[in-house]
Amino acid sequence: MNSFKTLTLLAAAALALGGCAGITPTREISSGYAIFDIQAGPEVGHARIADAVKRALQANTTQVQITNGLPPSPLPAAAPRFQLLAPLKGSNLAALAAAAGPAMQIPTCEGATMTATARDNAMGRYGEGTTFFACVMPYSGGWALNVHTTFVKASGAFSAATLGATLARTVVGDSSQFIPRTLAAMVDNLKAAGATVTLVEVYP
């Protein structure tokens, strides 16, 4: 079956399922985060904590970049938390960025000894992509693991592939369902390394 016939059939199916709105080209960006507290004895050092997080990202994404830093001195008394920064705020580009859409915000972790940025583009041809930003921040009582996620999804008649994916999602869902799997892999790896992990906060 040629691509024109395939697209025609998919469009007809989309109209039958959801009307014209079902094939309107739409791009959605959804963010979330999870914050964990890590406790471990002296035999479990920073290197094992960082390696556990890295291996979970390597197993569940298509690209990983790691930055290893130095711990702050002195260590903070309370567990640190990531912050969202608007890098263009106050610059001459801020007005142009605002006109183009919502203000861009990037996560940052002050005092992180390990920062990882990972992308999962396995479903890229279907208009889906996931980004993980994870950081390990030591404090006097243990470590804080903060994970910020961004999921991008294109739907509708961008192409035959995205239109087909739009229809399939009504049955099987989208690849954002694999974000909890990656978070769970981090927790499992940390526990296997000898740490105790507690979920402190999560959204959504």
pLDDT tens figures, 29-53:
999 999 999 999 999 999 999 999 9
Please give the C-alpha separations between residue 64 and each of 42, 47, 52, 121, 157, in angstroms, as whole numbers: 28, 17, 14, 11, 31
User: Are the C-beta atoms of 110 and 82 separated by less than 8 Å?
Assistant: no
Q: What is the CATH number of the domain that holds 51?
A: 3.30.160.110
Provide the number of structural domains found in the chain: 1
Cα gap 88→43, rounded to integer Å: 43
Print the domain residue range for 130: 27-156+172-203
124 falls within a domain? yes
- At 74, the pLDDT band (50, 70, 90 cuts) reads very high
112 falls within a domain? yes
Helix/strand/coil for 80? coil
Over range 112-123, report the average pLDDT. Answer: 95
8 falls within a domain? no
Give the pLDDT of residue 168. Answer: 58
- At 11, the pLDDT band (50, 70, 90 cuts) reads very low
186 falls within a domain? yes
The model carries a pTM of 0.79
* Average pLDDT over the chain, rounded to an integer: 83
In 146-156, which positions are buried (b, 16+ CB within 10 angstroms) versus exposed (e)? Answer: bbbbbbebbbb
182 falls within a domain? yes
194 pLDDT above the threshold of 80: yes
CA nearest to 64, candidates 54, 73, 72, 74: 54
196 falls within a domain? yes
Residue spans of alpha helices (H) in the chain: 3-18, 46-60, 94-100, 160-172, 179-192
129 falls within a domain? yes
Give the pLDDT of residue 4. Answer: 42
Per-residue tokens: 62: 């298509």
188 falls within a domain? yes
Query: What does residue 44 show for φ and ψ, rounded to 5 degrees?
Result: -105, 100
Over range 79-92, report the average pLDDT. Answer: 81
CA within 13 Å, CB half, 107: 22
